[in-house]
Amino acid sequence: MKQFLSSSDVLYVNSLLKKAKRIQQDSYGNNMIGKNKTMVLLFFNPSLRTRLSTQKAAQNLGMHVITMNVSQAWGIEFEDGAVMNLDKAEHVKEAAAVISQYADLIGLRTFAGLQDREADYEEKILNQFAKYATVPIVNLESATVHPLQSFADVFTIETYKKKKRPKVVLTWAPHPRALPQAVANSFVEWMKKTDYELVITQPKGYELSTQFTTGCSITYDQQEAFHDADFIYAKNWSSYSDYGKILPTDVNWMITAEKMALTNDACFMHCLPVRRNVVVEDMVLDSPNSIVIQQAANREVIAQTVLSEILKNL
Ligand code: SN0
């Protein structure tokens, strides 16, 4: 693997899932592969799991890690040919090239701005960094996808599934803020790499981009979707069609114990952070069927799997 920008950088999911299993059982088994290598983690947005799990994974492989919150550096300009007489002090051409002098690998978190759909869906910031950096880039959630999360989600489902082809439901859930579509897009993309049965359910107006959902089974009836489900994956996202907006929607889309009772004793999943009693009620999150903590634990395993694949080629 040369870089990890999206799911298309992973050709053989099954062999990497086997590797992840080995890493889970022996996380320090390959702790020299990153010796004298440095990973720089750049955060344009907040993070808890991604930051700690990626740092831990890199350290397990023997790497040094430098983390920077970009808001504390110079404002970065991403437009080619910009006349930089406003607030941005440094162009990505220099920033990415300079960071590459100190780093053997760069991790980048940059959420969707949710203002300009075209710029977000072109992955402008991620791609500009990848273009001007001279070392591999690892996507720590970009405008449209969160591949480390989704890969960890596949690994989690593999671990907990009780039948070969479980029914996995991605359900929209309410939220007070406008959130990106990245986690949901990415989840759909990675589910397509498996042979699970995927059903997506969301209220009208919250359809994801067909770039991700073409060929998927989609219903506006949440209860129908929950019937016989083996995994419920809850996530809020803002509208794609009315880009970045929160539409007037029924709060009844919250995940409740009553709805979970329609399922086949399903596991409850969420990428976290989760707003209790808005997205999902306490009773579900605190039940033994909730695997959100194990899901987060798997972030370290999957980050380590991806980093070790990239290190092999450095
Ligand atoms: C992010 C998102 O993409 O939805 C990160 C998820 C891994 N989530 C949030 O920004 C939640 C923030 C909030 O206010 O609840």
Q: Whole-angstrom Cα distance, residue 75 to residue 196?
A: 43
CA-177 nearest atom, ligand 1: 14
Q: Whole-angstrom Cα distance, residue 156 to residue 63?
A: 26
| The amino acid at 129 | F
User: Is the pLDDT confidence value at 22 over 90?
Assistant: yes
Strands (E), the chain: 38-43, 64-69, 76-77, 90-91, 105-109, 137-139, 167-172, 197-201, 217-219, 231-235, 267-269
The residue among 133, 237, 242 whose CA lies nearest residue 185 is: 237
CA-112 nearest atom, ligand 1: 3
State phi, psi for 206 to the nearest 5 degrees: -110, 20
Mean pLDDT (whole number) for 240-269: 95
Q: What is the DSSP letter of 177?
A: S
CATH number given to 7-145+298-311: 3.40.50.1370
Q: Whole-angstrom Cα distance, residue 32 to residue 151?
A: 24
pLDDT of residue 71: 86
Pocket of ligand 1 (CB under 6 A): 141, 177, 179-180, 182-183, 271, 273, 275
pLDDT of residue 249: 78
Q: How far is CA 75 from the centre of its chain?
A: 25
Mean pLDDT (whole number) for 10-33: 96
Between the alpha carbon of residue 84 and those of residues 33, 156, 219, 291, the distances in Å are 41, 46, 47, 48
DSSP bridge partners of 106: 40, 137
Closest Cα to atom 1 of ligand 1: 179
- The token pair that represents 77 in the structure block: 């300009």
Q: Residue 179 Cα, ligand 1 centroid: separation in angstroms? A: 6
- Residue with the bigger pLDDT between 249 and 20: it is 20
Inter-residue contact 217 to 253 (CB < 8 Å): no
Residue 246 binned pLDDT confidence (cut-offs 50, 70, 90) = very high
User: Is the pLDDT confidence value at 152 over 90?
Assistant: yes
Between the alpha carbon of residue 107 and those of residues 8, 50, 85, 130, 298, the distances in Å are 17, 10, 29, 11, 18
User: Is the pLDDT confidence value at 251 over 90?
Assistant: no
Omega into 147 within 30° of 0, i.e. cis?
no
Q: Whole-angstrom Cα distance, residue 276 to residue 285?
A: 8
CA-111 nearest atom, ligand 1: 3
Question: Who contacts 76 (Cβ-Cβ below 8 Å, separation ≥6)?
Answer: 70, 88, 90, 91, 92, 95
pLDDT of residue 53: 98
Q: Where are the domain boundaries for CATH 3.40.50.1370 in the chain? A: 7-145+298-311, 149-296
Q: Whole-angstrom Cα distance, residue 196 to residue 163?
A: 10
pLDDT of residue 250: 77
Inter-residue contact 188 to 208 (CB < 8 Å): yes
Looking at CATH, the fold of the domain delimited by 149-296 is given as Rossmann fold (3.40.50)
Closest Cα to atom 4 of ligand 1: 179
| The amino acid at 61 | L
User: Is the pLDDT confidence value at 248 over 90?
Assistant: no
Closest Cα to atom 9 of ligand 1: 179
- Ligand 1 pocket: which of 179, 269, 279 to mutate (most atoms <8 Å of CB)? 179
Strands (E), 70-223: 76-77, 90-91, 105-109, 137-139, 167-172, 197-201, 217-219
pLDDT, tens digit (0-9, with 9 covering 90-100), for 93-144? 999 999 999 999 999 999 999 999 999 999 999 999 999 999 999 999 999 9
User: Is the pLDDT confidence value at 73 over 90?
Assistant: no
| Residue matched to tokens 């002098």 | 101
Q: Residue 37 Cα, ligand 1 centroid: separation in angstroms? A: 31
Q: Residue 274 Cα, ligand 1 centroid: separation in angstroms? A: 8
